[in-house]
Structure 1
Amino acid sequence: MHATTLELILAAIAEDVGTGDVTAHYFVPAESTARAKIVAREPGVLAGVDVAERVFLEIEPRLEVKTLLQDGSAFQPGDVLMEISGPTRGLLTGERTALNFLQRLSGVATQARRYVEAVKPHPVQIWDTRKTTPGWRLLEKAAVKAGGGTNHRMGLYDHVMVKDNHLAAHGTLEELQSAIDRVREERPGTRIQLEADTLEQVANFLTLRGVEMLLLDNMGPAKLREAVAMNAGRLWLEASGGITLETIGGIAATGVNAISVGALTHSARALDLGLDFE
């Protein structure tokens, strides 16, 4: 488990438990043991199993946690996702924090799966964005993968994305080419992508060397098809901008290689999962 994920788990536990679970301390005998299960109340795709398990074990190492489904598994209402047994106090103290992680991440995975299914049978990837919950990026992007989506850049450090605001400050083709050449020399292996808002920009960017990808921003299907024809397979083309489940099929049919959807993470609803005692 990544160190930042463990830090997030510990912060979430501290936020909820603070100086101690007073309800469990006064109303549950110290020697009490119990068995419980996490059950789906609605259909979805699972993500965050290892995080939920770690929450319980950080709170009470004597708990036994058995995962019945793995990340990426589809489930239906009534399916048991996880079984937990051991000291009742620890089980109750960990319940909400574990569910918070599991519900949120499964919501992201479920959302990603909907978009992946919506573009079939077109050979196009569904990409996530940086529109993630602060501190949750690694987890939410892992949930996107669990749902069948593909991770775009993880952050500002691992992928060049020259967007409209960058172009406003550094926008001539000569300046762009000079900057691209410097990246190639100083940061070999770093992917370089330019954002195009118009077909004229697409034509101009295709004259540059060292570019691997273009982001076609807020273009409708007709313009996207023109861009695909102009590109003729040279660069990887990503469509982006206000894409919904209702419109994504038409976008996929244009021939772009990828479609990025901020809604995979910023608009995913937490799923309804519950912990039931046996």
Structure 2
Amino acid sequence: MSQIDYIFEIEQLVQRCLVEDIREGDITSEAIFAGDEIATASIIAKEEGVVCGIVVAQKVFEKLDNTVFFQALKKDGDDIKPFEAIIRVSGRVKSLLGAERTALNFMQRLSGIATLSRSFKNLVNQSNITILDTRKTMPGLRYLDKYAVRVGGCENHRYGLFDMYLIKDNHIKAAGSIKNAVDACLKHREVNMYKYKIEVEVADIEQLKEALGCDVDVIMLDNFSPENLKAAVQLVGGKVKLEISGGVTAHNISKYLDSGVDFISIGALTHSVKSMDLSMNIEL
């Protein structure tokens, strides 16, 4: 997908989310306000973190009412402290309240991902390891989830099933061996004139030995203990890039920093994220 396609996808996503929330109308605001009342509101942080999703929030307000004045006081990637204002909006009260929850939902999730990603990035700053995300994203939000990971300072693994060959345990079982699976991917890549990398997941040293005999770009060491990891790195001897996956947390990542691997993939960046606490306050 091109950048234009992604922008269109976000526009459609915002529209669906607004319809999901408002449907036939915000009956509470319709009951209280005539429709022409004007107000100013600020979106503020209630905890420390890394801001993300400002542009998406802007699209929410503008999609609902293009007369709303939107002022970004921060930018994606900025550190934020409690009670700092991130955004200021002015316009019809009904429009501000109608857009509030959808805008906050996007920003809270994306800021949570960016904050967690920043914390992992800081943990590996003194090493040569790159932290990667996974495909364990919220359905329909993958582009935004992965964007938030980058805002936090980590990097994206493959976007989907279409942009990298990643041979996992079930592929290997169904194909009969690692070699069978790799050879099939090599042939597919050649026939289709693709340039996508080939990565293979291994569960133990024996599978690692088999993978080393194949033409692959990256080998993923799945749930290797620190002890087995040391043996694996010695066996590989720098002949291929290595990725660790499974069981790595903020509490034990220090054990892997001098391991000699190139990448650590962290599914928790997107599948177990804690949303940042944000709120919107009408200013009287």
Tell me, yes or no, whether TM beats 0.5. yes
Kept after mapping to 1: 8 A contact 2:167/2:181: no
Match in the other structure for 2:3: none
For 2:114 and 2:60, locate their aligned partners in 1 and report how far apart those are by CA, in whole Å: 20
Report the CA distance between 1:2 and its aligned residue. Answer: 2.2
| Other-structure match for 2:133 | 128
Equivalent in the alignment of 2:173:
168
- Which residue number in structure 1 is paired with residue 188 of structure 2? 183
8 Å CA contact 1:132–1:266 kept in 2: the answer is yes
Q: Cα distance, 1:177 vs. partner?
A: 4.6
CA drift of 1:178 comes to 2.7
User: Does residue 219 of structure 2 align to residue 205 of structure 1?
Assistant: no
Percent of residue pairs bearing the same amino acid type: 38
Pair 1:3-2:30 in alignment: no
Structure-1 separation of matches of 2:160 and 2:10: 16
Give, in angstroms, the shift of residue 172 of structure 1.
Answer: 3.1
Give the whole-Å Cα distance in 1 for the aligned partners of 2:182 and 2:157. Answer: 23
Q: Which of residues 148, 152, 156 is equivalent to 2:157? A: 152
Whole-angstrom distance in 1 between the partners of 2:197 and 2:281: 47
Matched residues, number: 277
CA offsets 1:10-51 (integer angstroms, 9 cap, x no match): 111001100011111121232211111111000011111111
SS class of match (1:277): strand
Corresponding residue for residue 250 of structure 1: 255
Alpha-carbon offset, residue 133 of structure 1:
0.7
Residue in 2 that maps onto 1:102: 107
Structure 1 residues 177 and 76: CA distance shift in structure 2, 3 A: closer
SS in 2 for 1:13: helix
Q: Secondary structure at the match of 1:61?
A: coil
Q: What is the aligned counterpart of 2:202 among 186, 196, 199?
A: 196
Contact 1:252 1:259 in 2 (8 A): no
Q: Secondary structure at the match of 1:2?
A: helix
After TM superposition, the structure 1 = structure 2 runs for residues 212-223 of structure 1, keeping only pairs within 5 Å, are 212-223=217-228
Q: Is the 8 A contact 2:179 2:210 kept in 1?
A: no
Structure 2: any 5+ residue segments left out of the alignment? 1-5
The structure 1 segments of at least 4 consecutive aligned residues displaced by more than 6 Å after TM superposition are none
- CA displacement, residues 78-115 of structure 1 (integer Å, 9 cap, x when unaligned): 11111101111101111111001100110111111111
- Gaps in structure 1 of 5+ consecutive residues: none
Relative to structure 2, which stretch is displaced further, 167-176 or 231-240?
167-176
Q: 1:192-249 CA distances to partner (integer Å, 9 max, x unpaired)?
A: 000011112112211112x100110000112212222222222111100122110112
Distance 1:20 1:132 in 2: 30
Write the distance in 1 (CA, Å) between the matches of 2:35 and 2:169: 60
**After superposition, what is the alpha-carbon deviation per residue over 1:155-197, rounded to whole angstroms, capped at 9, x for unaligned?**
1111111011110111335523531331331242111000011
Q: Determine the structure 1 residue equivalent to 2:240.
A: 235
* Residue 70 of structure 1: aligned partner: 75
Q: Give, in whole Å, the separation in 2 of the partners of 1:225 and 1:14.
A: 53
Matches of 1:104 and 1:274 in 2, distance apart?
Answer: 13
What is the aligned partner in structure 1 of residue 122 from structure 2? 117
Q: TM-score, normalised by structure 2?
A: 0.94
Deviation at 1:62, TM superposition (A): 0.4
Q: Is the 8 A contact 2:137 2:145 kept in 1?
A: yes
Bigger mean CA offset, 67-76 vs 137-146: 67-76
Deviation at 1:54, TM superposition (A): 0.4
Structural RMSD (CA): 1.3
**Separation in structure 1 between the aligned mates of residue 253 and residue 93 of structure 2, nearest angstrom:** 47
